[in-house]
Structure 1
């Protein structure tokens, strides 16, 4: 008997054994129904049997073994993906879910070999095709499981970031009231200033975290463009960034029309992150140069600092999320989650602009942002 026919005839028996094995793995077997344990096992097996009956040339078989083969079986893929999602939902870990497929593979082969009167000349080919189908199902289930893990993590981070804002606001407001209502000596005022600075840094980190999660859960950052002046936003962002750093020496240069239709809140966020990055890595002098020049169709913004250059090997991943500098990785104190430049890139992309960075020991580091004066999303 061909293996595909055996699977169709014995599918209920095989699924019974799947259920028994799944119950031995389940985190809370007593709370799981029979339907939960069996899940998509029947659909996976029947889809695998159908897949085995499709014609396949030796060349296609070799290509499929390399992951380059013909189109997968839609029914098999859908059932396996749903299985991966549901196993994550009920608390199976990835090792347990993988063990289910290992057991299924061994169970089917064992039952087939034991009950078939004789193995025909196509037996080896049947086992190859069955293994291909199970491998495909396992890959789809694993991918779906991993996606659920990633989404769950992002939702957790979103909730965490959202809930952190309330205590941070309470700390900030209490500090302001303390400074206004009490006559504090110089030492106490210094403590209050440190609390204010720490609160600002924490609020910035929470904001970056929420933007990171929002971009992962959606399709990029949402924007609400309106007429604004980039030069005035840049000056305000520079004043705010330097307010708590007396050693900051900003240099602003504006040339041409700096007006455009952009999302002011997002642009301010981009400016704060670029300026903050320049101050953090600009060496002991805290010197930052910001220039804006406008042409008929676009506005060019550059932010420059003269600190140590960015290593060439790090330039390719500079805008990736959760990437931090080598100094931070060595354990020095940091107020960054490694999301600042990722947020900058997301803001620029949302406005259909571009961003580039150049960095060397002699000329320092320069970020160059080009924004179309009117974003295509506003047309």
Structure 2
């Protein structure tokens, strides 16, 4: 009797033993029925049997061992369904991994007890282990993707819901800051509150951009005729308020009119300038240059050159370098440059970084429309 035949013949007992183990793992979720746990186990074991009986060339098996997968296959579908069910049933990723370990042990122990595995037992065990490993890999991938999506949705919802109360705080602080009837000390406190609320608002904007990209949602743009000179001027004023000690020189040249999302471009410039203020030293030079059907934005700051290995992941999320000044928003979390890339890409543009012993320059090229 082959191992696949044994699993098929002993399916009920194997599922029952596996269910008992799953019940221990999910003891905190007493609402789960045996039927729920058994159905998932039976479907997965049947898929493993089918996989073991399917001819697989040596090249196919080698590629599979290296991580290649057919996401459209029935085997992948069943593995993903199993992972999704376990997420819904409250299992942790550790529980899912332990489940597969228990299944592997249960099948091999029970097969050994038959006393006559046959001369082909070694190859049978290899195929079984390959199937288990593939099912585990598919399940972990699906489980992780679903958990990450849920986390991203939560962050997106919280970030979105916090924008309204923060806007109210900033508006109220603005009114108090400009109320001549209040003493100077009270107006100063209101100004601090307004700056803090605006900083938090920028952080939430960056987090929303980040979660939208992770959820594969298209970054929403509200394009309109705009002046890059006006956008950059407002961005510099905002960064000067957040970094009072930063010396920023702003230069313009050429035709700077075009069609963009002004708020998004301002967000991009604020992130680049904040990054320069936080990581660089000396004066910061920002420039907007109109050339033909393109407008180029650049931000230069003096400072240490960026290491070569860091350049490879410079625009990836959550890859922050240590900075002497840790003030600021999402850029301090390793999101600022990633968001700059998202915004430039959404406008059909590009962003690049150049590093030398004298300093670092970020250049953004954007089409006019």
- Aligned to 2:364, the other structure's residue is in SS state strand
For 1:369, the equivalent position in structure 2 comes to 364
- Aligned to 1:352, the other structure's residue is in SS state coil
Work out which of the residue numbers 340, 344, 368 in structure 2 matches 1:344.
340
- Aligned to 1:40, the other structure's residue is in SS state helix
For 1:78, the equivalent position in structure 2 comes to 77
Report the alpha carbon displacement of residue 71 of structure 1 after superposing the two structures with TM: 5.5
- Counterpart Cα distance in 2 of 1:121 and 1:97: 32
- Aligned to 1:232, the other structure's residue is in SS state helix
- Aligned to 1:79, the other structure's residue is in SS state helix
Residue by residue over 1:2-37, the C-alpha shift from the partner in whole angstroms, topping out at 9 and shown as x without a partner, is 111122222222112221111111053421122322
- Aligned to 2:169, the other structure's residue is in SS state helix
Report the alpha carbon displacement of residue 326 of structure 1 after superposing the two structures with TM: 1.1
For 2:171, the equivalent position in structure 1 comes to 173
Determine if the alignment matches structure 1 residue 358 to structure 2 residue 354: yes
Report the alpha carbon displacement of residue 334 of structure 1 after superposing the two structures with TM: 4.4
Call closer, same or farther: CA 1:178–1:252 in 2, change over 3 Å.
Answer: closer
Instruction: Could you tell me which runs of 5 or more consecutive residues in structure 2 were left unpaired when the two chains were aligned.
Output: none
TM-score scaled by length of structure 2: 0.89
Report the alpha carbon displacement of residue 56 of structure 1 after superposing the two structures with TM: 3.6
Report the alpha carbon displacement of residue 113 of structure 1 after superposing the two structures with TM: 2.4
Call closer, same or farther: CA 1:66–1:317 in 2, change over 3 Å.
Answer: closer
Report the alpha carbon displacement of residue 100 of structure 1 after superposing the two structures with TM: 1.1
Partners of 1:205 and 1:337 within 8 A in 2: no
Call closer, same or farther: CA 1:308–1:75 in 2, change over 3 Å.
Answer: same
Partners of 2:71 and 2:77 within 8 A in 1: no
Report the alpha carbon displacement of residue 147 of structure 1 after superposing the two structures with TM: 0.7
For 2:255, the equivalent position in structure 1 comes to 257
Call closer, same or farther: CA 1:256–1:132 in 2, change over 3 Å.
Answer: same
Q: Structure 2 matches for 1:195-214, cutoff 5 A? A: 195-214=193-212
Determine if the alignment matches structure 1 residue 296 to structure 2 residue 292: yes
Q: Structure 2 matches for 1:21-170, cutoff 5 A? A: 21-58=21-58, 60-67=60-67, 74-115=73-114, 118-170=116-168
- Counterpart Cα distance in 2 of 1:304 and 1:58: 55
Q: Number of residues paired by the alignment?
A: 367
- Counterpart Cα distance in 1 of 2:290 and 2:296: 6
For 1:377, the equivalent position in structure 2 comes to none
Work out which of the residue numbers 320, 323, 330 in structure 2 matches 1:327.
323
- Aligned to 1:31, the other structure's residue is in SS state coil
- Aligned to 1:326, the other structure's residue is in SS state coil
Report the alpha carbon displacement of residue 297 of structure 1 after superposing the two structures with TM: 2.8
- Counterpart Cα distance in 2 of 1:315 and 1:59: 37
- Counterpart Cα distance in 2 of 1:43 and 1:125: 23
- Counterpart Cα distance in 1 of 2:289 and 2:178: 42
- After superposition, the CA RMSD in angstroms is 2.6
Work out which of the residue numbers 213, 226, 240 in structure 1 matches 2:224.
226
Report the alpha carbon displacement of residue 141 of structure 1 after superposing the two structures with TM: 0.5
Instruction: Could you tell me which runs of 5 or more consecutive residues in structure 1 were left unpaired when the two chains were aligned.
Output: 375-379
Call closer, same or farther: CA 1:371–1:182 in 2, change over 3 Å.
Answer: closer
TM-score scaled by length of structure 1: 0.87
- Aligned to 2:132, the other structure's residue is in SS state helix
Report the alpha carbon displacement of residue 237 of structure 1 after superposing the two structures with TM: 2.1
